[in-house]
């Protein structure tokens, strides 16, 4: 068993959704959550989860310093697609598929994890519009806030295919804020050297990366692709166990353990451990608090559902009344005109309009345009939630400038932010700045000097929050308050 410690940070509902998705999932391709506890100071949640000894696919490639072979990619792709099929049947969109969120255990099973930004739909016809996710893996329709469904996850898996084959996702050479504008405008990415890979792997990746989301195949349709079809059938018979992945994990375990030992003295983890230590004597009190919170949440949901039902019933009755009036008027008109019916001497009788028909059409139209209103917004987001509306210059500078104290490079910075979930608010911020000063982004794209690129990035963000864009070099030596 593994324990994941999550700071609450006023996002209890979002954390609870992640826990609920894992606890309610019963699949060989989804990581399980057995139980969750709240710390004594109510600042952290401990999640008792199924252990994945091999860590993530990204971790494994990092510690082994090698990319995955085509056969290993096939195994991961088949398992991940089976996991997506399971989620999509339950009307769940993952929205953060990448190598860092695909875990491996010692048995050789491949499992999807991290549902912090997942969306739970209410019907098959419902679509999301929220722009959220890790920039390099986001589908074009997600970035553009067009209606999307589970096929956005299929795109992300296609990007992950390239990531597993080349160690980096496409566009990793540019700044993630630039990638948000490049992805929707450029053709779908491809493998750098497609001739080095089997044709069915290249075709599978290209199919996942169909740019028009309405023409992109669903996860269920992708199961029949020749690249993974046979592997899917074998995995289903063996409950997801892959001898190929088992061999890979066992080979990588010593290096993974060594890497974890080097990172075991992380002060943040120690602080979280001390604060989150659970007192068994207070278990009943915590359970009572959670039960009370769950009762309140349920009551609130029922209240909202009741209000929505009453509103829809009123709309239905009003539409039925108007339809009846229209029918009556048409009948009176037809009766007075005595319009003959072919083969009959009597007046023409119009077909009866069933009460509620118009209302049902309106409801159907409304459902098709619904947004995922309960979708999580910002667990571990690019900008902390409390800072999004009050960004200061120093916050932006720290966020976009390499840390000299830790020796961080511009590429490491790019990798970190490129794999971090960007929030809806931050993406809107970038789009607003793009509208105001598009030339700044063109300049940023052509700049080769890392320091100058960072300066231009900060200038763009300063402009987006309504402040005069001043380059970092112009601020050197000036008052910090400015």
Q: What is the model's pTM?
A: 0.62
pLDDT value of residue 139? 96
Catalytic residue numbers, as ranges: 96
Q: Count Cβ atoms below 10 Å from residue 244 Cβ, excluding itself.
A: 15
Unique residue bearing structure tokens 């540019």: 174
β-strand pairing of 55-56 with 110-112 = unpaired
Confirm or reject CATH 1.10.530.10 for domain 2-276, answering yes or no. Answer: no
The tokens for 137 are: 């893996």
DSSP 167: S
d(CA 208, CA 222): 8
Contacts of 156 (CB under 8 A, 6+ apart): 94, 95, 96, 97, 98, 133, 137, 138, 139
Q: How far apart are CA 96 and CA 65, in angstroms?
A: 24
Helices (H) and strands (E) in the chain, counts: 19, 8
Q: What residues in the chain have per-residue pLDDT under 50?
A: 267, 270-281, 337-382, 384-386, 388-389, 392-394, 396-397, 400-408, 443, 468-482
Residues 6+ apart with CB under 8 A from 33: 19, 22, 23, 47, 48, 49, 50
**C-alpha distances in Å from residue 391, one per residue of 278, 293, 377, 468, 473:** 35, 32, 18, 14, 20
Angle at 11 between CA 5 and CA 14, to 5 degrees: 85
CA 37/CA 472 separation, integer angstroms: 45
| DSSP 8-state symbol, 378 | -
The residues, any chain, with a CB within 8 Å of residue 174's CB and separated by 6 or more, are 182, 414, 445
Paired residues of 112 in beta bridges: 30, 102
H or E element that contains 4 = strand 2-7
Distance CA 103, CA 112 (A): 6
- Could you give the count of Cα atoms lying within 13 Å of 179 in the half-sphere of its Cβ? 24
Q: How crowded is residue 332: how many other Cβ atoms within 10 Å of its Cβ?
A: 10
Domain chopping of the chain, boundaries: 2-276, 302-368, 385-419+437-475
Burial tier of 184 (Cβ tally within 10 Å: 0-12, 13-18, 19+): middle
Instruction: Give the CA angle between residues 216, 220, 224 to the nearest 5°.
Output: 90
CA distance 170 to 108: 27
Residue 201, pLDDT score: 97
Phi/psi for 247 (5° steps) reads: -60, -40
- Coil vs helix vs strand at 155: helix
The per-residue pLDDT for 442 is 59
Q: How far is C-alpha 389 from the geometric centre of its chain's CA atoms? A: 22
- Residue-wise pLDDT for 317-351, tens only, equals 887 787 777 666 656 655 554 444 444 444 444 33
Query: Can you tell me which residue has the tokens 């806030």?
Result: 145
3-state helix, strand, coil in the chain (%, to 5): 55, 10, 40
Q: Among 397, 378, 379, which residue's Cα sits nearest to residue 461? A: 397
The percentage of residues in the chain with a pLDDT greater than 70, rounded to a whole number, is 60
Determine contact, residues 457/175, Cβ cutoff 8 Å: yes
């Amino acid at each position: 068993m593994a324990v994941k410690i999550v700071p609450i940070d006023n996002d209890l509902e979002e954390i609870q959704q992640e826990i609920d998705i894992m606890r309610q999932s019963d699949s060989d391709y989804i990581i399980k959550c057995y139980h969750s506890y709240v710390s004594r100071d109510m600042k952290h949640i401990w999640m008792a989860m199924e252990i994945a000894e091999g860590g993530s696919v990204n971790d494994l490639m990092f510690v082994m310093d090698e990319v995955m072979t085509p056969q290993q990619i096939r195994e991961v792709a088949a398992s991940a697609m089976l996991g997506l099929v399971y989620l999509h049947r339950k009307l769940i969109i993952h929205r953060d598929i990448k190598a860092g969120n695909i875990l491996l255990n010692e048995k050789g099973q491949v499992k999807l994890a991290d549902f912090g930004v997942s969306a739970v739909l209410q019907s098959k016809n419902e679509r999301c519009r929220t722009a959220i996710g890790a920039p390099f893996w986001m589908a074009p329709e997600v970035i553009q806030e067009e209606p999307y469904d589970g096929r956005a996850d299929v795109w992300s898996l296609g990007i992950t295919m390239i990531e597993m084959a080349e160690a980096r996702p496409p566009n990793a050479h540019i700044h993630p804020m630039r990638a948000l504008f490049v992805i929707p405008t450029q053709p779908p990415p491809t493998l750098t050297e497609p001739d080095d890979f089997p044709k069915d792997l290249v075709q599978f990746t290209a199919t996942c990366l169909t740019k028009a989301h309405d023409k992109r195949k669903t996860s269920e349709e992708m199961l029949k692709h020749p690249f993974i079809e046979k592997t899917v059938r074998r995995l289903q018979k063996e409950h997801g166990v892959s001898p190929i992945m088992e061999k890979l994990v066992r080979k990588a375990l010593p290096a993974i353990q060594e890497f974890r030992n080097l990172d075991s003295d992380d002060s943040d983890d120690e602080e979280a451990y001390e604060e989150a230590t659970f007192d068994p004597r207070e278990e009943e009190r915590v359970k009572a608090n959670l039960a009370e919170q769950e009762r309140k949440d349920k009551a609130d949901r029922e209240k909202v559902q009741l209000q929505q039902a009453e509103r829809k019933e009123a709309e239905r009755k009003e539409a039925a009344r108007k339809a009846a009036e229209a029918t009556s008027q048409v009948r009176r008109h037809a009766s007075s005109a005595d319009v003959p019916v072919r083969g009959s001497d009597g007046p023409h009788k119009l077909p009866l309009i069933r009460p509620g028909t118009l209302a049902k059409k309106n409801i159907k139209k409304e459902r098709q345009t619904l947004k995922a209103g309960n979708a999580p917004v910002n667990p571990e987001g690019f900008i902390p939630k409390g800072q999004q509306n009050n960004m200061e210059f120093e916050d932006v500078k720290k966020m976009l400038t390499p840390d000299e104290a830790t020796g961080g490079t511009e590429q490491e910075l790019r990798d970190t932010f490129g794999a971090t979930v960007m929030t809806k608010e931050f993406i809107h911020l970038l789009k607003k700045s793009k509208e105001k000063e598009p030339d700044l982004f063109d300049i940023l794209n052509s700049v080769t000097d890392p320091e100058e690129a960072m300066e231009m990035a900060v200038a763009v963000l300063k402009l987006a929050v309504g402040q005069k864009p001043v380059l970092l070099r112009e601020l050197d030596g000036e008052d910090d308050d400015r």
